[in-house]
Chain A
């Protein structure tokens, strides 16, 4: 299994996979504790609209990387969801449902205007980590650097996750922090599209965090456990998927789920 890593495509896949898994699992603890699982799914489907737009634009600009369009598109949808939630009395799942449906609908319209969608769109729907190129690895490293800048926000995000009203009463800028968290989530979801695909991104975020919750009683320990579970699933799942000739993203999610059920049994 270890020999697989001597190949360049595996090294790139592993590098990008570890980075995105670490960030996704880290953010997943906030998604799980804030009961925002639907937001993960909603943003992933919104990213599809961005990818579809990029595929449409590629007929005019062939060198255009879909991530360059999908990232701002998904961030815009994420911020719009947050804005609608704060400006209305609508439940969060309603705001997410409206905006991700709109983004998906736009994506379907964009794809209807292009002829090459079937294969390119499928890559993003189901993921294809083994096609990760050098540019994707560089992008992952840039995202990691940006994410590192947001690390000091963990304490405030966690405080607002515990009790948003207490945090506001203590003059924590909860609304601004929520916009940042949602935007970071959007970027990571777009980056994770190639690894696990739009269909499974939410699980990629939620399952390691849920495993961490089962095994620990402290939010800091939950965060560490989640990140370890996320990275381990990529490190084990990637070479195993090559050996078994199974789609990598799907196998990674299966491994994460296996860890979750082991934690469930261990907890009892």
Chain B
């Protein structure tokens, strides 16, 4: 099977600060990678190098065999954190989803684009809010609209930055089921997601990357979510959470 993501000896520095050091891993097509680590571990930096937003200082990042900065941008979709989204921007939910198709903001929406966007919104369970301004959506609805925006062009790689932050527990569970459905319908699609929730990683991910600027562990959840590795990544704080992981 082809590698969806190949990261080799990746180092990212911002001035004198090293955000990532010598990170290497390979994710197979169709995989679901949960990226875990404490605050400041370089998780968001890793995601931004995958999307081509940050250039590696050293090493390489390849998406489906191509350099991340020269990859087919339609093949990769990025779903940002809810807290970074500007809800004051005047936009209907449908327009936001269509922007994912066009890669620009729509002046008007063609019938074809509306059909595709509506189908993606239906998959994400938010077709009923298509004509609702985004400022009137709940956090859970907005996150699903962003997921629909990410899915609308059927990307081969879906990158999510803490997608469940700001959503209640019920909404969170439904959100991860939507991701599973997407992979069920698109077996070659690969998902990379930052999460702070170890139980999510255990129940939904095929692979876990435990990060603390360097790779602390990479592999299947059962092999990685272990007491000693979590303590390596999180320090003493990790020990308390380990009990939850094991339960």
Contacts and interface: CB of A to CB of B under 8 A. Distances in A.
Nearest to B84: A165
A220 interface: yes
A155 B105 contact: yes
A170 B88 CA distance: 22
Contacts of A162: 86, 89, 91, 96, 99, 105
Interface stretch (A110-118, A210-218, A231-239): A210-218
A159 B90 contact: no
B212 to A, nearest CB: 24
B103 interface: yes
A213 B141 CA distance: 23
B95 interface: yes
B47 to A, nearest CB: 10
A228 to B, nearest CB: 16
Contacts of B78: 165-166, 169
Nearest to A214: B90
A222 B105 contact: no
Interface of B: 51-53, 73, 76, 78, 80, 84-86, 88-92, 95-96, 99, 102-108, 133, 135
B107 A154 contact: yes
Contacts of B85: 163
User: In the complex, which of the residues A154, A155, A170 has the most CB atoms of chain B within 10 Å of its own CB atom?
Assistant: A170
Given A165-B53, A169-B52, 7 more contacts: A161-B105, A163-B80, A166-B80, A170-B103, A172-B103, A216-B90, A220-B106
Interface in A94-125: none
A158 B51 contact: no
28 contacts: A33-B90, A155-B102, A161-B89, A162-B86, A162-B99, A162-B105, A163-B80, A163-B85, A165-B53, A166-B78, A167-B103, A168-B51, A169-B53, A169-B73, A170-B103, A171-B52, A217-B90, A217-B133, A217-B135, A218-B90, A218-B92, A219-B91, A219-B95, A220-B106, A220-B107, A220-B108, A221-B90, A222-B90
